[in-house]
Structure 1
Amino acid sequence: MNPLASFSSPLAVMLPRLSVLALAATLAACSTTANSPAAAPTAPSATAAQATKAPPKLIVFLVVDGLPMRQVTAYREQLQPDGFRRFLDQGVWFSDARYAHGHTVTAAGHATMLTGAYPQRSGIISNEWNDAQTFAPVYNTGDTAYRYIDHKTDPLAGTSPRSLRAETVGDVLRGLQPASKVIGISGKDRGAILPAGHKGTAYMYMSEDGQFASSTYYMQSHPQWVRDFNAAKPADAFFGKAWAPLLPEAAYAGSVPDGQPWQYNGGNGNKLPAVLGAQMDGPGPRFYGNILPSPFGDELTLAFARAAIAGEQLGADAQTDILSVSLSSHDYVNHAFGPESRLSHDHFLHLDRYLQGFFRDLDAKLGRDNYLVMLTADHGFADSPAWAKTQGRDADLLNPGVVMSQLNTGLVQKFGPGRWAVSFSAAGVLFDHKLIKERGLAPSAVHEEAARLLRGMDGVVAAFTPEQLRGSDSTTPFLDAMRKAWHPEVSAPVQFVIKPNWLFSSRVGGSSHGTPHRYDQHVPILSWGPAWVGRGEVKTPVEVVDIAPTLAQILRVPAPAQSQGKPLPLPLPLPQAAAR
């Protein structure tokens, strides 16, 4: 069993159509290079340069789970020359990139990236939700028709992309070029399955034994390279290994020190150095689970990605392949300790070094002129409310149980006895519509009263009814973001938004995400592949839905059918000699 399948919180885990879109932008003044001025307005467009350039042999799509853009820029001077700095110094980076949907969680983000579709179209509204009619739990990639290969499979385990109602760039590519390979890899099932789409192949980490596995949706048995990787037991090499700070103490002066009372103290503890497997007799499920909330979870995932490149011969022929690698550990670290912590800061620096090694291996195996890398995140992160309070901010926890009790108390006063509100589902509230019908009430009346009650609660800044979510009002704050997060066949009827710096949780400690506030929406979009994307910072506001049509443009295939984005305003690609 993979405990990641049914928990969005790391704390729970640690406790156990053939028309090609043209790129519209030219090399504008908003795109600059660290060492040179912007090109003159008369520079040729990126579109003209793209027209004569063959697609890359391999697209490497990287996701750093739970990475706010502010961390990338805050630690820039401490980065290695060829990790994240490859993007910042040699590639293109969008300093104002964001998600535009309101419920910013892992599954919704991973479903958006390569489909270009907001949850209102993809149907992936959250990590888990409840069926609006039966109230039964639904997991975003759950599908009881399939099982993990050679591993136990819980009913809510993520095994297929059945619930994803949109195609990905990889789906389009394989529909036109069946020989192309599309592979998704992640520490989380949703991080592997959703970017891989319907026609790719997904492999996810099994925290029961430290292996990677696929499901019977994709194949009946693993290829030999996967069996060889797992047989070598690479996860066991981290038993007894210490996560120690990479830099002297003074380098972390701007981050919150270890061991704070709000920092989670289970798993590997909340102080560095932390030894994996401490006080354990040997590797076992608890140890394998504790690898993920450490830098070694990402190191292991990238090792499996290297094995996939070699085993599947990715990028070895004329047909473009896509490798999606979602690195899960930063999310677990930020949940447990907060993005303001030294532990998060140091984890980011470890990841930077891992990426540098991974890029250099790609250079050696594929050649620098043959592949493109794009990196983003599935959501940002709020600072820990307990720490934010010490900084004078209005920050607190909004207890779901208290909200539900107050909501039903108000509805009883208005409509009479009954449990009108049944449960929370993603960012909304589900109601007993059978009771509403029995009392002869219009559902809209109950929805409107519930939204009114929610708006009056301390900790809530907005609440919306189905009528508002179906409408076209574009001026009411947060409404458009929640509309993009709301699927009429999947979502709860009433959606609400909590105050900035607050968490919708009863769990004391750590931090989370899931709101339309900037700290949750602002994420990196970084790219490297000089022959295709050019170089420089682009300050023009862009959205994550713009990634899919951009990659489709580079691949010379149509954008996914449900895509709502537009091609990113990339600078002019550089000649090969100048790009080196």
Structure 2
Amino acid sequence: MKLTRRALPALLSLSALSLLCACAAAPTAPSTPLPGPGSSPAKPKLIVFVVIDGLPMRQVLDNRDLFEPDGFRRFLDRGTWFSEAHYGHAHTVTAAGHAVMLSGAYPQRSGIISNEWVDPQTRKPVYNTMDADYQYIGHKTAALAGTSPRMLLAETVGDVLRGNEPASKMIGISGKDRGAILPAGHKGTAYMYMSETGQFASSTYYMPAHPQWVQAFNAARPADAFFHKAWAPLLPGWNCPQAIASNCAYARSVPDGQTWQSSGGNGNTLPAVLGAPLDKPGPAFYGNILASPFGDELTLAFARAAIEGEALGADDRPDILSVSLSSHDYVNHAFGPESRLSQDHLLRLDRHLQAFFRDLDAKVGKNNYLLMLTADHGFADTPEWAASQGRDAKRIPGSDLVKFANAGLGKQFGDGRWVTELSAMGLLFDEALISSRGLKREQVYAAAKLVMLQHPEVAAVYTPDELAANTPAPALLQQMRKSWHAERAAPVQVIMKEGRLFGSRPVGSSHGTPYRYDTHVPLLSWGPAWVGAGEVKTPVEIADVAPTLSRVLGLRAPAQSQGKPLPLPLPLPLPLPLPLSR
């Protein structure tokens, strides 16, 4: 894909008066937009963009008192954090979120409407980063495997940066292919975890063979160090009763071993020994690493190797490193964000981040890099747990919607499989059947909307005319418009009621709705030379990240960006000292 290149300088200005004002800022940071063109501090040598897959903001705030001084609290105590940061689109899934972050483009522009979908024209399955023209380097490449950013119809901050500064580097790393490829964009380089071997690999889209540093990392087989290692509770009091008035850290979460928690993989109780039934490491063990704290530890080890091997942040040409940590998503899917296992995982992740950040301080220099952390989506509590607390929550199998739609349409138009399947949040129709009965598709779509609105668990239904319009609309329709791409999405989109978990899995939890528990995510930043300190309560969107980082780098925003610069407070004149580890 050939991307448009046009440089519009947008440098930050900081006057002495501004700095003095920033020194006297209140604990809650003012919503001050980034300054316009003028004199500016040097660009960061490195931007480190951290994504915690599947982390709702409520989990961060609920555990703030348990964090170490320099993990999440580096942001919360000494950086700028946004307490009302949300995704603006409706179908909040991993690929869509990762596509928004560094492009600023919602699925309606990026084309990444879901993790997978069904092509409305060919009716073939589509994966968000599939590309049969490329293969994983040194590894098997399954059908529909994620190997390139070809499906991404938007450019990223890294694409603009490398268009202006070809010597700059954009590296994307993740446990998931989509978590590495989509933030890396078209001109970056992506490395993803191979669950069959425990190694990291790129694809032939980026290079014909791995550089020496990647070969050395994989040859050392670091994943094998976790074989038969126990994931045990980090803090004392694992078996304390829930919600008791005590000093027990785990009293605020749901104990392990619940019937609605998945017992597959590493099991649903701690301690859990990885690879316990096996005699030696193999695909089953390597796959289960991701659903444990060791998946993040391994990914961060590879990120350290990338910083060293690629000399990231070593010169005056700015680089970007995107690290998407996948394990929390797997843990929340299996056990729910309310679970004790999820809480323990988050606390361990905090310790891993603290170690990584301090390594960055030593390697790159604390005044040379900018940190930003967010998540690709939030998470719903497991329906069974929520229902036990008196909330209206339940699981809704997707097949029920198809049956309901066909029953209602059959009464009006005669028997037939009018709706063939679900694609992401939408209904796909048998267009040939519609034509053969002498009907217009718009007529059937409108009828399907009326039918689905009679479903007791459906909140809203939208037709192509409503989705394609650019008129004032209720919040749900606005969110759904941002998720809908006319050529890739199903024509009729359905939104379930709040508290409904859509899918076929009988245990665990998920995400993907336009509701607060799925849209509200952390957006945290730190970098003494570029970012002030304090909580910003102004509502913002994750689409605002791309134009913000573009301004920090003195670049134009990505062409398809729909965000605006974040209201970051001005930086302090001198960096605050880091506290000693307790």
Q: Report the TM-score when normalising by structure 2.
A: 0.93
Match of 2:199 among 211, 222, 225: 211
Give the distance between the partners of 2:135 and 2:29, measured in 1 at CA. Answer: 54
Q: Does the CA-based 8 Å contact 2:27-2:534 persist in structure 1?
A: no
Distance 1:179 1:265, change over 3 A: same
Gaps of 5+ in 1: 1-16
Distance 1:348 1:40, change over 3 A: closer
Amino acid at match of 1:155: A
Match of 1:152 among 140, 144, 154: 140
Give the distance between the partners of 1:127 and 1:557, measured in 2 at CA. Answer: 30
Give the distance between the partners of 2:380 and 2:576, measured in 1 at CA. Answer: 40
Give the distance between the partners of 2:487 and 2:370, measured in 1 at CA. Answer: 37
**Offset of 1:576 from its aligned partner?**
2.6
**Aligned Cα RMSD in Å?**
2.2
Amino acid at match of 2:265: G
Distance 1:24 1:378, change over 3 A: farther
Q: Corresponding residue for 1:7?
A: none
Match of 1:63 among 36, 40, 51: 51
**Are positions 1:461 and 2:459 aligned together?**
yes
Give the distance between the partners of 2:282 and 2:142, measured in 1 at CA. Answer: 19
Query: How many pairs are equivalent?
Result: 560
Q: Report the TM-score when normalising by structure 1.
A: 0.93
What is the 5 A alignment of 1:13-412?
17-20=6-9, 36-37=26-27, 46-47=34-35, 51-249=39-237, 250-412=248-410
Moved more, 282-291 or 447-456: 447-456
Deviations 1:244-269 (A, max 9, x none): 11112221101000000000001000
| Identity percentage of aligned residues | 66
Q: Corresponding residue for 1:11?
A: none
Say which SS state the counterpart of residue 307 (structure 1) adopts: helix
Say which SS state the counterpart of residue 478 (structure 1) adopts: helix
**Offset of 1:215 from its aligned partner?**
0.3
**Offset of 1:474 from its aligned partner?**
3.1
Give the distance between the partners of 1:180 and 1:410, measured in 2 at CA. Answer: 57
Q: Corresponding residue for 1:569?
A: 567
Q: Corresponding residue for 1:3?
A: none
**Offset of 1:51 from its aligned partner?**
3.5
Say which SS state the counterpart of residue 532 (structure 1) adopts: coil
**Offset of 1:18 from its aligned partner?**
2.6
Amino acid at match of 2:128: N
**Offset of 1:415 from its aligned partner?**
1.2
Give the distance between the partners of 2:12 and 2:55, measured in 1 at CA. Answer: 27
Distance 1:566 1:338, change over 3 A: same
Q: Does the CA-based 8 Å contact 1:49-1:572 persist in structure 2?
A: no
Moved more, 489-498 or 468-477: 468-477
**Offset of 1:453 from its aligned partner?**
1.3
Q: Corresponding residue for 1:417?
A: 415
Distance 1:52 1:21, change over 3 A: closer
Deviations 1:107-140 (A, max 9, x none): 0000000000000000000000000012100000
**Offset of 1:546 from its aligned partner?**
0.2
Amino acid at match of 1:245: P
Say which SS state the counterpart of residue 47 (structure 1) adopts: coil
Give the distance between the partners of 2:118 and 2:466, measured in 1 at CA. Answer: 22
**Offset of 1:577 from its aligned partner?**
4.7
Give the distance between the partners of 1:415 and 1:256, measured in 2 at CA. Answer: 49
**Offset of 1:221 from its aligned partner?**
0.4
Give the distance between the partners of 2:146 and 2:235, measured in 1 at CA. Answer: 38
Give the distance between the partners of 2:499 and 2:344, measured in 1 at CA. Answer: 23
Match of 1:523 among 521, 524, 543: 521
Give the distance between the partners of 1:525 and 1:49, measured in 2 at CA. Answer: 25
Amino acid at match of 1:18: A
**Offset of 1:19 from its aligned partner?**
2.4
**Offset of 1:226 from its aligned partner?**
0.3
Say which SS state the counterpart of residue 537 (structure 1) adopts: strand
Q: Corresponding residue for 2:437?
A: 439
**Offset of 1:477 from its aligned partner?**
4.3
Give the distance between the partners of 2:296 and 2:384, measured in 1 at CA. Answer: 28
**Offset of 1:475 from its aligned partner?**
3.5
**Offset of 1:463 from its aligned partner?**
0.7
Say which SS state the counterpart of residue 509 (structure 1) adopts: coil
Distance 1:482 1:343, change over 3 A: same
Q: Corresponding residue for 2:558?
A: 560
Q: Corresponding residue for 2:3?
A: none
Moved more, 463-472 or 347-356: 463-472
Q: Does the CA-based 8 Å contact 2:12-2:40 persist in structure 1?
A: no
Say which SS state the counterpart of residue 576 (structure 1) adopts: coil
**Offset of 1:500 from its aligned partner?**
1.0
Q: Does the CA-based 8 Å contact 1:32-1:537 persist in structure 2?
A: no
Q: Corresponding residue for 1:10?
A: none
Q: Corresponding residue for 2:245?
A: none
Distance 1:318 1:40, change over 3 A: closer
Give the distance between the partners of 1:154 and 1:279, measured in 2 at CA. Answer: 27
Give the distance between the partners of 1:426 and 1:23, measured in 2 at CA. Answer: 41
Amino acid at match of 1:432: D
Q: Corresponding residue for 2:506?
A: 508
Deviations 1:407-461 (A, max 9, x none): 1111111112321111101111111112212222111111111111111112111
Moved more, 259-268 or 453-462: 453-462
Amino acid at match of 2:548: T
Q: Does the CA-based 8 Å contact 1:93-1:536 persist in structure 2?
A: yes
